[in-house]
Amino acid sequence: MISTDHATVYVIDDDGRMRAAMQRLLKSVGLRGEVLATPQEFLRRKLPDGPTCLVLDVRLPGMSGLDVQRKLAEAGVQIPIIFITGHGDIPMTVKAMKSGAVEFLTKPFRDQDLLDAIQQALERDGRTRQQQHEIEELKERYETLTTREREVMGLLVSGMLTKQIASRLGTSEITAQVHRGQVMHKMHANSPVELGRMAEKLGLPVIENSDS
């Protein structure tokens, strides 16, 4: 379960009574809710650094929920969306889900169905943020490697032994071993397999191991 201490649930609905009901529901389970009447208010906001999700009415004056979803995607804003509507239809649902919506609820819906969808969305966002944080950390570690160490890392994750790396680089086996040790130390890797997973997360190009 995601910790709700730093989670924020945004709600965009032009119905004042619906916003008030949503705020009460979120408060009753200890979730921080930000209820807004228009998409423009939300799009001007800076999202907090913590798990977030968006409960979005499909039919809004001036800009539909699907338009909001598209604008967020174009801006590179990754936030899980739960659509709610009183006028749902199959094509709209399919389009919303294909574009990454977590859930599509038709009014009137059960409070528990919405809370379940919100929990799912917050967990998804929490995982995404964790993965992004890990990649940022890996990038910082990779930046500390020298050009030669990056070369050694690439050869190491391709499956080469220290002897083969030394031969490829035209250096002594002892020197290659020192570089290998530095790479493992700086990247905080316990094995070449773990280093390989790090290289994959960083999107490093795979070097062909012609010696294998």
Residues 125 and 150 in one domain: no
- Per the structure, the complete domain to which residue 185 belongs is given by 144-202
Number of domains comprising the chain: 2
Per-residue pLDDT reduced to its tens digit, 9-51: 999 988 889 899 999 999 999 999 999 998 888 888 888 888 9
Taking the C-alpha atoms of residue 181 and residue 34, their distance in angstroms, rounded to an integer, is 50
Pairing type for strands 8-12 and 81-85 reads: unpaired
Residues 119 and 22 in one domain: yes
Q: Tell me: do 64 and 153 sit in the same domain.
A: no
The CATH number given to whatever domain includes residue 55 is 3.40.50.2300
Q: Is residue 171 part of a domain?
A: yes
Tokens of 168: 């490829």
Residue 2 placed within a domain: no
Same domain, 27 and 63: yes
172 domain-assigned: yes
Q: How many CB atoms neighbour CB 144 within 10 A? A: 11
Is residue 62 located within the same domain as residue 89? yes
Q: What is the CATH number of the domain that holds 152?
A: 1.10.10.10
In whole angstroms, how large is the CA radius of gyration of the chain?
Answer: 24
Residue 174 lies in a domain: yes
- Are 101 and 165 in the same domain? no
Per-residue pLDDT of the chain (212 residues; tens, 9 = 90+): 445 568 999 999 888 898 999 999 999 999 999 999 988 888 888 888 889 999 998 888 888 888 898 898 888 888 999 998 876 666 777 777 777 788 888 888 899 999 999 999 999 999 988 888 999 999 999 999 999 999 999 999 999 999 999 999 999 999 999 999 999 999 999 999 999 999 999 998 877 766 54
| Contact present, 59 and 65 (Cβ < 8 Å) | yes
Same domain, 30 and 104: yes
